[in-house]
Chains A and B, each alone.
Chain A
Amino acid sequence: MTSPRSFNSLRARLLVLVLGLAAVVWLSAAALIWRDARHELDELLDGHLAQAAALLVVQQAAHHDDDKVADAPALHKYAPRVIFQVFHEGELVQRSAQAGAAQMSAVERGFSTVRLADGSEWRVFATQGAERDVQVFVGEQIASRSAILRAVLRSVLLPLMLALPLLALAGWVAVQRGLLPLRHLSEVLGQRRPEALEPVVLQDVPAEMQPLVQALNGLFGRIERMLASERRFTADAAHELRTPIAAIRAQAQVALGAGADEMERQHALQSTLAGCDRATHLVEQLLTLARLEALPAGAADMVDLAELARRVLAELAPGALARQQQLELDVAAPCRVTGSELLLGVLLRNLVDNALRYSPDGATVLVRVALENGQPLLQVEDSGAGMTAPEMARLGERFYRVPGHAQPGSGLGWSIVRRIAQVCGAQVEAAPSARLGGLAVSVRWPGRDGREA
């Protein structure tokens, strides 16, 4: 309990708290008792002193002719602690055995506390007779009062001192039993295999532990879903990589087996190279996605969408021109958004690349940067075949490719676009393009003002 480390133990903490508080309560109670007892004792004993003094005055009035100093006998074991002196017309006429000859106190009426020649402290009550010829002092040793108080305190505190270890033991047992469900939980968790992610089911979970168990089960659920998604991704990735590799292998083997057929060999070798490019593209997309998955959501710098679009389109234009595709940029208004310039570049490149890839030769792809009700809008439209509603619904499933396309794609472009949008706080939406008849993909930044900054 002395080292700070042990306070990390719930048990030690509870025990120290309970015992400490009990001790404080007891000490306060003892202090109150002591104060009360002393007050009552003082009143009672002072009363007795006054009473005794009054008796002595009355007695002296009856025997005032007796000039001899009388020494009263000590009749009780407490007698030495009580002394008195009776003076008649300035002369000591009566005193108790321990009393000296001099007046005990300078105060002639009422209470006073004096220190006598032997160093002892006394409580003295002084009074005079009706005609002021009789002076009476009655004293009581202060130490005896303290002794009584100590006895009272002892009788209160002693049982408590004895009870404290017992209480500690009882407290320890109670804490131990009280924390049993916690220990049970930790045992259950400790015995788990690392891959076991099913919810923890405990009987009679105390109400205080319910949130903990629920939070734990919630966490297990999330980890399970995350792992499942990871496993699916790995399986999908393996699946998707196998097809281009199988194609490369088949084409290479065809080239080897072509014999005298030079045309067939050439075709097979060209296909082998194309297959390698396709596998490279797939691996690059996979790596991009893997990096994105590890990225925390949050925006960084201000990005000029028009400038970004100009750059991406310039990059993709040669490929489009080779297929007689028309690539246009329409900047309706300057538009700035917060986000990573790098990521938004990847997003736009994927969207435009998709539009070009899945549109026929000679098609038109239009990129628009505009403000829509003051909010930034980035739109990529194409004049391709478009998509059916169920196909649109499946967009963004990893490795989903719209069927019937000869163009090789990774099926990951949409997953990448979605993830980047999520990171940059944007929303992506696909719809039929009213202007070009193909697909229109809109990226919006809800709740942002594109004009600011």
Chain B
Amino acid sequence: MRILLAEDDAMLGDGLRAGLRQQGFQVDWVRDGEAAERELASGVYAAGVLDLGLPRKDGMDVLQALRARRVTTPVLVLTARDAVPDRIRGLDLGADDYVVKPVDLHELGARLRSLVRRAHGQAQDSLRSGGVMLEPAARQVSLNGEAVALSPREFDLLHALMRSAGRVMSREQLEQQLYSWGHEVESNTIEVHIHHLRRKLQPDLIQTVRGVGYTVLRDPETT
């Protein structure tokens, strides 16, 4: 899952990025409000972590501008402002969650997963398609009840596809969701990962729509 982190404090931003990466998130880090707004509006992020006291543009203003532009990316506000009126204002302006510093990194990860899940209309954390079950928190995948070992990239790719089950994802969209800044993506990487996933799981799990992209069929049981 690719996450945008907007935090102006160098030490905290560094810690949050490292902590979220440890939990398997792809994290891009911006340090001011204008960059946060620009990046979140791009739509490539599964969710955003937004500090309120940002230079150039306050977090509240960023939130308001994003929602005014109909950007629906889930946003978790992470701030030191703990006053109830601030919380109310943040949530009313379009924050999907409001967390006061300091925060446990695992809790932050869980909240982000929960935000993304809700944004895709899922009630449960685990995702199912056919005999395949994916558990984002544990980063585990099983086929017919038996655990299957996947590389982190393979897991992320499967997660992105299963999260958007029933929708066709282009290769560019998948690349954007998988790779944070600074990671060069080779031209056939996605194809290689898809090939591995089909081999390790089920051949018909991921279907190719020629000239458009890939999709995982929506499982009738879970909808």
Tell me the A residues contacting B by CB distance below 8 Å: 235, 238-240, 242-251, 253-254, 257-259, 264, 267-268, 271, 274-275, 278, 403-404, 406, 408
Contacts and interface: CB of A to CB of B under 8 A. Distances in A.
Contacts of B196: none
Contacts of A250: 12, 15-16, 18-19, 102-103, 105
Nearest to A268: B18
Interface of B: 8-12, 14-16, 18-19, 22-23, 32, 53, 55-56, 80-83, 100-106
B135 to A, nearest CB: 19
A268 B11 contact: no
Contact of B11 (A240, A259, A275): A275
A301 to B, nearest CB: 41
B102 A246 contact: yes
B36 to A, nearest CB: 13
Nearest to B8: A403
Contacts of A244: 11-12
B19 A246 contact: no
Contacts of B16: 250
Given A250-B19, A271-B14, A274-B11, A245 B32 contact: no
Contacts of B81: 239
Nearest to B81: A239
Contacts of A245: 101-102
A94 to B, nearest CB: 118
Contacts of A254: 15, 18-19, 22, 105
Contact of B101 (A242, A274, A404, A408): A242
A245 B102 CA distance: 6
Closest 6 A-B residue pairs measured CB to CB? A403-B55, A250-B15, A246-B102, A246-B101, A242-B80, A247-B12
Contacts of A274: 11
Given A246-B102, A254-B15, A254-B19, 8 more contacts: A242-B101, A243-B80, A246-B80, A249-B103, A250-B12, A250-B103, A257-B23, A271-B11
A253 B12 contact: no
A281 to B, nearest CB: 13
Contacts of B55: 403-404
Contacts of B22: 254, 257-259
Nearest to A404: B55
A238 B82 CA distance: 9
Nearest to B32: A403
A59 B55 CA distance: 130
B180 to A, nearest CB: 16
A247 B78 CA distance: 12
B80 A239 contact: yes
Nearest to B33: A403
A257 B106 CA distance: 10
B9 A271 contact: no
8 contacts: A243-B9, A249-B15, A254-B22, A257-B105, A264-B18, A267-B18, A403-B55, A404-B55
A192 B88 CA distance: 31
Given A264-B18, A268-B18, A403-B32, A253 B104 contact: yes
B105 A253 contact: yes
Nearest to A274: B11
Given A257-B22, A258-B22, A246 B103 contact: yes
Nearest to B19: A254
